[in-house]
Amino acid sequence: MVMGNSLWHLVWQSDRMSQMVILLLLILSIICWTVFAYKVVLFRVKRRHITEALDQLSQTSDLNSLVTLASTFATTVPGYFLTKNLSYVKTLLQRRPDGKLTAADSELLQQHIYQTVDTVVANEEAYIPIVTTASVVSPLLGLFGTVWGLIHAFVNISERQSADIATVAPGIAEALITTLAGLMVAIPALALGNYLLKQVRDMEKLSMRLADRVSLILQMVLMP
């Protein structure tokens, strides 16, 4: 309790620049935790949707069922994935009176399917760079505040013409408080960023399973 009061006292006694650095670090911390909470909830919902879609795809073997499934999962990741690729299949079939795809068409479809996976993964990575950037920038901001505080402390020593512990200690402590604040933001941000990136990789694996299953069904139905 005493330590906490001392830290707050140091913050309030700091100059404007140090206080601005600490305020900026606080804002970065709030943003990081907000992004983390938002993305974790979103990943959980999207993972459930893809898992449900995969379960239903395991019992699907015709084009009409895929269209129905796309409608069922409208506004979700699997719905987006199915709609995009079924629209592309429709475009390809418009040039084929027999309703079958050629080998060249099949290759184009495969490329389109995996491009859709890339789009899904890119969307899942949204906002994560904010967290990873904060984990890199925060220690530098803390170091900037430390250097600024040390300069301020040495200026005070010069003005007072004294370098005893009573003169030096408050200035040094004031300088190091920004380093502590920077580390308190950077360490959690690094852990949160790595966790979110792992969730993206898991989503990519699920999306690839979805792509493989849809590709297999389309080839079974549309290839001669």
Residue spans per domain, the chain: 2-222
Rounded to whole angstroms, how far apart are CA atoms 151 and 133?
A: 27
Rounded to whole angstroms, how far apart are CA atoms 81 and 75?
A: 10
User: Virtual CA dihedral for 94, 95, 97, 100, nearest 10 degrees?
Assistant: -90
pLDDT, position 7: 59
pLDDT, position 33: 96
Rounded to whole angstroms, how far apart are CA atoms 55 and 68?
A: 14
pLDDT, position 1: 41
Tokens matching residue 76? 């979700």
Only one residue has tokens 């969730």, namely 199
Rounded to whole angstroms, how far apart are CA atoms 191 and 199?
A: 13
pLDDT, position 2: 39
Amino acid, res. 73: F
pLDDT, tens digit only, all 224 positions of the chain: 434 456 566 666 667 777 888 899 999 999 999 999 999 999 999 999 999 999 998 888 788 888 899 999 988 999 999 999 999 988 888 887 777 888 888 899 999 999 999 999 999 999 999 999 999 999 999 998 888 877 777 776 777 666 666 666 666 777 788 888 899 999 999 999 999 999 999 999 999 999 999 999 888 887 76
Smallest CA-to-CA distance from 142 within 34, 36, 24, 27 is with 24
Angle at which helices 16-57 and 63-72 pack, to 10 degrees? 140
pLDDT, position 6: 61
> Cβ distance 153 to 112 under 8 Å?
no
